[in-house]
A and B are shown apart, each in its own frame.
Chain A
Amino acid sequence: MTILKELNDIFIDVFENEDIVLTVSTSAADLEEWDSLNHIHLIVSIEKHFNIRFTSKEIQSWKNVGEMVDSINKKIAV
């Protein structure tokens, strides 16, 4: 499974919406459920799933799903 696919499953789980299909350019503006409150749940779920830890700076720098994938890849490679 690619990182994107794993992320997609996490999104579906956190937002409780089976219709979500992520692309690298998907951003918060594209998903109604993706607001500041759900964002935290998302981050916690992602960190738990991949067993990684982001810094605040990294989290605040993401502009879209693609950048999240890049961050995850960097963490896993370490």
Chain B
Amino acid sequence: MIFNSVSFSIFFIVFFLLYWFVLNKNLKLQNGFILAASYVFYARADWHFLFLLAGSSAVSYFLGIYIGKVTNDRQKRLLLYLGLLQGLGTLVYFKYFNFFITSFANAFSIFHINLNIHTFQILLPLGISFYTFRTLSYIIDIYNDKTKPTRDWVVFFCYIAFFPCLISGPIDRPNLLIPQLEKKRNFTYEHGTDAMRQILWGFFKKMVIADNCAAVTNQIFDKYLVLPGSTLLLGAFFFTIEIYSDFSGYSDLAIGFARLLGFNVTQNFNYPFFAQNIADYWRRWHISLTSWVTDYVFTPIAIAFRDYGKLGLLLAIILNMLIVGIWHGANWTFVLYGFVNGLYFIPLIWLGKLGGKKKSEHSKLMPSLAVLKNILGTFTLVMLTNIIFRAESISKAFGYYRRLFSLSLFKTPVFQGKLDAAVTLFLIGLMFTIEWLHREKQHGLQIDYIKSRFLRLGIYFSLMFIIFIFDFTEQHQFIYFKF
């Protein structure tokens, strides 16, 4: 069930009413209801792998308890490795097994040795990259004494399978979500209306911006071999906007629906295109994933390499970004994508400019010229690696670059639907204007500061109207469903 579908709307409305008006008195029943609904939600999308979801949850649940109980260091470490093996093992098998086989065979074919290796028909279980990272963070945090194991299996299974976030995140840490599951949730009018605003904004970004950008992007990437460089530049631009509005739109929806149920889940995007350098960008993009990899991969490696100064730091960052890249899927393009993004950090490391706060432009309406230059520069860097991200193979990515950086860059762009694209460009400008105005806020449409109810309602209805006229009849999948 995707969020922008009739079936999900009905599902959620029924769930919402029962959740608050019938089951609110009994916490255990309410949690049970979340669990049942989450499994129904998952089954509708992918029932074959329901057992895997439940099985992974069960293994982590029991391992968590034993790791917490056991005092012998060696036994503790053994249990941790078991959990890592189960989680990473299943993830690697379903996601990367064929990739390893074909890469292995390809390596031999360079020497004209033909290994007749068959790949298996391995389907990718929905959401596995997301819920596996939840189970892993749970047992690692228990091992490191950062969290306590929970004895309530319903709470734990809910933490892993929480349906607003089950398919594509955000990836919540145990310390954020489990305590909320163990306590009664409260609903306030302000909370509810702001959650609805976030949901509206998510729908706008996904159905208006992302889907319309896709119409431009897809045709350009499909025919890149015959298109001029100027068109390819537009393709890269529209794809960058597409993936942002698609995924941040999905995240706004997930967070909004969770808030309607009384939960505060992790923020996933913090206006990444307002970043002024690449380090800042990665602090704002897919936050729940990058902070996960930072905490569990970068930090231990950086600590181990701390004697090697800037080189050690660079190595840790590159490994970090490689993992972020390859997490997206079994393709060398994702490896290259991660690697190049790691390399982007080099100037920052060498100049010692990695840290925290940049020149903030708090409450200034217009960005200064210096800030604008930084924003556009960072955007360009990101846009260039997104070509690799989008391409089906590395050779195709390089083919794209070759045509992009040729003299045809100065020819007029060629593609279908120029009027639609122009309108989309205008709406992109609208989206960024609204987000710029609200860049210190929790989400792009947090307009509770507008005192005039008339104005607020006007904004809601305008957005809904735009969604209505720009919605294609086909329902486009969210990009991140396939990760």
Q: Which residues of A contact B (CB under 8 A)?
A: 15-16, 32-40, 43-44, 56, 59-61
Contacts and interface: CB of A to CB of B under 8 A. Distances in A.
Interface of B: 144-145, 279, 283, 294-295, 298-300, 302-304, 306, 313, 354-357
Given A56-B300, A61-B144, A61-B145, A32 B356 contact: yes
B304 A38 contact: no
B303 A60 contact: yes
A38 to B, nearest CB: 5
Nearest to A33: B356
B295 A37 contact: no
Given A32-B356, A32-B357, A43 B294 contact: no
B303 A35 contact: no
B303 A59 contact: yes
A54 to B, nearest CB: 9
Contacts of B356: 15, 32-35, 38
Nearest to A38: B355
Nearest to A53: B307
Given A33-B357, A38-B356, 19 more contacts: A15-B355, A16-B355, A32-B356, A35-B283, A35-B356, A36-B294, A36-B298, A36-B302, A37-B279, A37-B354, A37-B355, A40-B303, A44-B306, A56-B300, A59-B303, A60-B144, A60-B303, A61-B144, A61-B145
A54 B295 CA distance: 18
Contacts of B300: 56, 60
Contacts of A32: 356-357
Nearest to A47: B306
A34 B354 CA distance: 11
A60 to B, nearest CB: 6
Contacts of B279: 37
> Nearest 7 CB-CB pairs, A to B?
A33-B356, A37-B354, A38-B355, A40-B302, A36-B294, A32-B356, A56-B303
Nearest to B304: A56
Contacts of A33: 355-357
Contacts of B357: 32-33
A44 B306 CA distance: 7
Q: Which of A36, A37, A43 has the most CB of B within 10 A?
A: A37
